[in-house]
Amino acid sequence: MISINKQIGCIFIIIGTSLGGGILAIPMILSYFGAIIGCLIMFLMWLLMTYSTLAVAEACLHFEKGISYLGLAHKLFKKTWDCCLYLCIWDTLWYVSSLYISYRFIL
């Protein structure tokens, strides 16, 4: 059983990474589109992220407590999608770490 302190720590790491990347990237990209289109794009992104979060939460409810993303993908899509999930996770880690490293050199 994973302790609650480790779970909370993992949650805050994921939230901090996601928010940090978004805080740096979203205003920079949306400044090219203007205020109205930028707000529309942000609303559509929020809608997509809310839908995907609720879909993952609903999928997790149908399996045992403490299932990981890899376990969820393996049970839902079988073994063929495991490599796709690994690729997505490593790409996300690579992009976030390169963003933070390059942003540190800019300052």
- What is the mean predicted confidence (pLDDT) over 15-39? 76
Question: b/e per residue, 17-51, with b = 16+ CB within 10 A?
Answer: beeebeeeeeeeebeeeeeeebeeeeeeeeeeeee
Q: What is the pLDDT of residues 30-49, one digit of tens each?
A: 888 888 998 898 888 889 88
Separation CA 59–CA 63 (nearest Å): 7
- How does pLDDT run across 44-78, given as a tens digit for each residue? 888 988 898 888 788 878 888 777 777 777 777 77
Q: Which residue range(s) make up the domain with 73?
A: 67-107
How far apart CA 41 and CA 46 sit, in angstroms, is 9
* Overall number of domains in the chain: 1
Tell me how far apart the alpha carbons of residues 52 and 73 are, in angstroms, rounded to a whole number: 14
Query: Does some domain include residue 79?
Result: yes
Would you say residue 74 lies in a domain?
yes
Q: Which two three-digit tokens encode residue 81? A: 């999608």
Residue 88: pLDDT band by 50, 70, 90 thresholds? Answer: confident
- Residue 41 falls inside a structural domain: no
